[in-house]
Chain A
Amino acid sequence: GQQVMQIPQYQHVQEGEDFTTYCNSSTTLSNIQWYKQRPGGHPVFLIQLVKSGEVKKQKRLTFQFGEAKKNSSLHITATQTTDVGTYFCAGRFTDKLIFGTGTRLQVFP
């Protein structure tokens, strides 16, 4: 079946350092979405990427979709304590939205 793998599982950074999480699919995706879940909260949509090679930015966050539409990354520049949480990618396979295992980010002040 379809699988979406995400690495790393955990990342601890000092405030101001950069952070990247990677997402890989076993099959080609229709699109990929990214979500953030704050501790104790629910996943909240960040962005969707649809086109091969697409790059989108949201302030300090940069999202990329691979050329083969099988991988994606989220990069945060100069992390802040407000970035703490778990980041999930989610790949769209026709009717299903398959989530990655998530990367838990901890930021130390």
Chain B
Amino acid sequence: EAQVTQNPRYLITVTGKKLTVTCSQNMNHEYMSWYRQDPGLGLRQIYYSMNVEVTDKGDVPEGYKVSRKEKRNFPLILESPSPNQTSLYFCASSPRTGSTEAFFGQGTRLTVV
């Protein structure tokens, strides 16, 4: 089944403790991205990647890192999480830049205390 898989689905952590949210897609898509969703603000893009080893900042990249060593994986890294990074995170992939639909993962609800 074609899908985007995020893990974990839920995470509660403490301020400053490094964490990684994994994202994997099995559709051989070139384009992958991370969004955070907050009430009243919609979906805001954190980082995106147009292909392996190619990443770029979205609208809200501060406090986040990403890597794209393989086509299928695009992990989101929070080196030192803070409470303002408490949010719902979505990973998405598309066949290529500028193409049709984005396929979203199930989401990761992160709470930083």
Interface residues of A, Cβ cutoff 8 Å to B = 1, 6, 9, 30-31, 33, 35, 42-45, 48, 88, 90, 92, 94-102
Contacts and interface: CB of A to CB of B under 8 A. Distances in A.
B40 A101 contact: yes
Nearest to B56: A95
Interface in B24-79: 33, 35, 40-45, 48, 50, 56, 58-59
B27 to A, nearest CB: 13
Contact of A45 (B40, B101, B105, B106): B101
A98 B43 CA distance: 8
A96 B90 CA distance: 15
Interface of B: 33, 35, 40-45, 48, 50, 56, 58-59, 90, 92, 94, 97-98, 100-107
Q: Which of A43, A44, A45 has the most CB atoms of chain B within a 10 A radius of its CB?
A: A43
Given A1-B59, A33-B101, A42-B106, A99 B43 contact: yes
B90 A101 contact: no
Given A95-B97, A96-B58, A42 B104 contact: yes
